[in-house]
Amino acid sequence: MKKFFYPLAILTFAIFFVMLANLNSNWVTRLDINASNLLKGNNFLEFFHYFGENEFIMIVTLLLLLWLWIYYHNYRGMMFALITVAGGNVFNRLIKEWVHRPRPIIPHQLASFSFPSGHAMMGILYIFTIAYFITEFEASIKRKVTVWSCAVIMTILIGLSRIAGSRHFASDVIAGWAMGYTFFILIVIWYERRKRIIKHHAKKA
């Protein structure tokens, strides 16, 4: 992964804390209301929430793990996927319990807390992980751009589906994307550093 994507994680980390620090501010409230008015009840967007459900993510992650194991024997890659998906899920739940933000008030609302959006955070984590491994050894710039463009669009649609369904505020979704990207880049840095160290030792041997 190109290193110019790394500094963006600092920006997204900052965005997360800006949202966290301003949850009760007027501008965040206006953002949430305007986004809800714009997207609420959009059936096209609501459909994409299925791609952020835990069951779907578990199945896709299992298939990714099998692919990395059977075809590449990439055990560090398998650990990468487990940390991003399983670790990211645990991290998201811990933040929710810490912040304790209630969800939007609608009938039959979910019981868990709202900030940050799990769908937005986990969507970016599992989809970006898949895109990363698909393009890890891809030489074609065009194919890389296509894969990553699809990944970005999909994560955006999953996040917006939660606003359309009134399951989350827009600020929850933005924070989920922001923390998801930061978490993802941290794992990428670890993975690529380990890859360089092993390659260096292999050359010396």
The pLDDT tens digits along the chain (205 residues) read: 677 788 899 999 999 999 999 999 999 999 999 999 999 999 999 999 999 999 999 999 999 999 999 988 999 999 999 999 999 999 999 999 999 999 998 888 888 899 999 999 999 999 999 999 999 888 899 999 999 999 999 999 999 999 999 999 999 999 999 999 999 999 999 998 877 776 656 666 5
The Cα 23–Cα 8 span in angstroms is 23
Peptide bond into 7 cis (omega under 30): no
| Residue 124 contacts residue 160 (beta carbons within 8 Å) | no
Quote the CA–CA distance of 167 and 172 in Å, as a whole number.
10
Cα angle for residues 89, 103, 153 (degrees, 5° grid): 55
pTM (two decimals): 0.92
What are the sequence ranges of the domains in the chain?
Answer: 3-102+110-199
**56 near 82, Cβ under 8 Å?**
no
CB 60 within 8 A of CB 129: no
Quote the CA–CA distance of 180 and 201 in Å, as a whole number. 32
Quote the pLDDT of residue 150: 97
